[in-house]
Copies of this chain bind each other. A is one copy, B any other.
Amino acid sequence: MYDLVILGAGSGGYEGALYAHRRGMKVALVELSPETVGGNCLNRGCIPSKYMRHGAYMLEKFQRMPEYGVFLNGYRLDMKALKEGRDKVVVSIRENFKRFAEHLKIPIFYGKGVLKDSHTVAVEPSGEELKAKYILIATGSSTMSLGDLVPDGRYIYDTDQIWSIEEFPKKVIIVGGGAVGVEFAYIFRMYGSDVVLLELKERLLPTPDIPEESSRYLARKLKRIGVDVRLKSTLLRWVSHEGGVKAYLSDGSYVEADFILLGVGRKPNTEGIGLEEVGVEKDSRGFVKVNQFCQTTVPNIYACGDITSPLMLAHKSMYEAKIAISHMLGEKELKRDEKIVPKVIYSAYEIASVGLTEDQAEEEGYEVKVGVVSFVPNPKAMDDGENEGFVRLVADRSGKILGCHILGPHAGELLHQVLHVMKAGLGVDFLSKCMYSHPSLSESIIQSAMEIHFGAITWSKRH
């Protein structure tokens, strides 16, 4: 009898297992195979893409090295070496986790976990049954097709398959200007590919929780580095053509390329694991219904991550696992709140957002105050040759922080200081009086709070 059995050893599952162990629970994981431990994020998502993105970022930085007295005699690109380096990191993290679980005596059962009743998980095909006081469903999500764009790993790749390519494409068409699309557009472009990026909507990253300014800056930069960004564009149909594809677009034009990469939506993995049978309810899109403690309609069964909402982020899953486990232990302090989940995109800029944008806050009826500080004059950003972008801090009339949107160097790390301040319920009054080191990028965050608290002197609201 386990205190907790977790279905899925992806981000939510393994973070949950470690947390449950820390909290004194006897815990077991069920995962499809030794090769899928770590889930999509580790094996086919954030980790390998951020690795390649780092290479792309370095290639971009090469262009400014003469300003640092370094004149390169050119370089040669080799995708096999990139792939090898990338896969080494992925495998190393995966094996480390498995060794660590073994060290902590957290067993991982390999196979498909299926609920038999509210306290029993069967591992298929072995049929082994695990009894548990609590069960956490952390089964993640899968890629989807888009109309006749059916991934085949030859002409059309999805984000499961793209990792297997052995050469950089001469030219690639990326369908979807969301996070996946803009990340791969940057990677391929910096590694020398021609890239056509298609987005149906009128802007990249077309989600209401990312400000239009971020989309605009990103589109401008991607164009500057040579990405063919096509907004309000769709791929109508495609044919195989001279070893590659010929794609017909909604504007009447066509594009020839080596292949098409699909950066479109994902669906939750909630089929065929016995949820319906034991009474765990799902919504019409297949997401598991959970309350603010990640509890499903069966009280001792919890769910976390990609299967609880369309906000499919590794750290949302990790945090929801903690919420669920804390609740199993009788605590009610941690609660689901998607408004404080950070979103970080690593493309031609780092783009980090949390909470409401100005537009969202206005729609919700707030009297909005915005502090905007540019990275252009930031001394540390200038020293690093990366003085582009901004901090946009959004507050209500009382100074309560409603959101923060950073685009620029290390935005993904910088955002955390605002996250913590928001979690503490502190406002711009507090943040404006915090200390910073000089020179630092963080100065710009404190300055954005000063812009609101003391009035703007450094930058106009909209620019």
Residues of chain A touching chain B, judged by Cβ–Cβ distance below 8 Å, are 11, 18, 21-23, 41-42, 46-47, 50-55, 58-59, 61, 65-85, 88-89, 92-93, 96, 104, 191, 313-315, 318-319, 322, 333-334, 340-344, 352, 377, 379-380, 382-385, 410, 412-417, 419-421, 423-424, 426, 430-431, 433-442, 445, 450, 454-455, 457
Contacts and interface: CB of A to CB of B under 8 A. Distances in A.
A42 B437 CA distance: 14
Contact of A65 (B58, B79, B80, B414): B58
B75 A72 contact: yes
Given A42-B379, A69-B83, A70-B82, 16 more contacts: A46-B438, A51-B68, A54-B383, A54-B385, A59-B70, A68-B82, A69-B85, A71-B78, A72-B74, A334-B433, A342-B437, A410-B413, A413-B442, A416-B417, A416-B436, A420-B430
Contact of A93 (B52, B53, B379, B410): B379
Contact of A438 (B88, B314, B430): B314
Contacts of A47: 379, 383, 439
Contacts of A342: 435-437
Contact of A435 (B41, B52, B341): B341
Contact of A424 (B18, B74, B385, B426): B426
A364 to B, nearest CB: 22
A155 to B, nearest CB: 24
Contacts of A51: 68, 382-383
Contacts of A431: 420
A325 to B, nearest CB: 11
B68 A85 contact: yes
A382 B42 CA distance: 12
Contacts of A414: 413, 416
A419 B420 CA distance: 11
Nearest to A326: B433
A54 to B, nearest CB: 5
Contacts of A441: 413
Contacts of A314: 438-439
A344 B58 CA distance: 24
Contacts of A92: 382
A435 B311 CA distance: 15
19 contacts: A42-B379, A46-B379, A47-B383, A47-B439, A50-B383, A58-B68, A70-B78, A71-B77, A72-B72, A93-B377, A93-B379, A342-B435, A412-B440, A413-B414, A413-B442, A416-B440, A420-B420, A421-B424, A424-B424
Contacts of A430: 420, 423-424
B75 A437 contact: no
A415 B41 CA distance: 26
A63 to B, nearest CB: 12
B433 A416 contact: no
A81 B58 contact: no
Given A54-B383, A434-B419, A73 B72 contact: yes
Given A89-B383, A96-B377, A413-B442, A70 B58 contact: yes
Contacts of A74: 72-73
A96 to B, nearest CB: 6
Given A70-B75, A435-B423, A410 B412 contact: no
A191 B85 CA distance: 26
A406 to B, nearest CB: 11
A344 B440 contact: yes
Given A410-B413, A413-B440, A382 B67 contact: no
A44 to B, nearest CB: 14
A420 B423 contact: no
A430 to B, nearest CB: 7
A41 B439 CA distance: 9
B352 A437 contact: yes
A243 to B, nearest CB: 23
Nearest to A71: B76
B69 A437 contact: no
Contacts of A67: 81-82, 84-85, 88
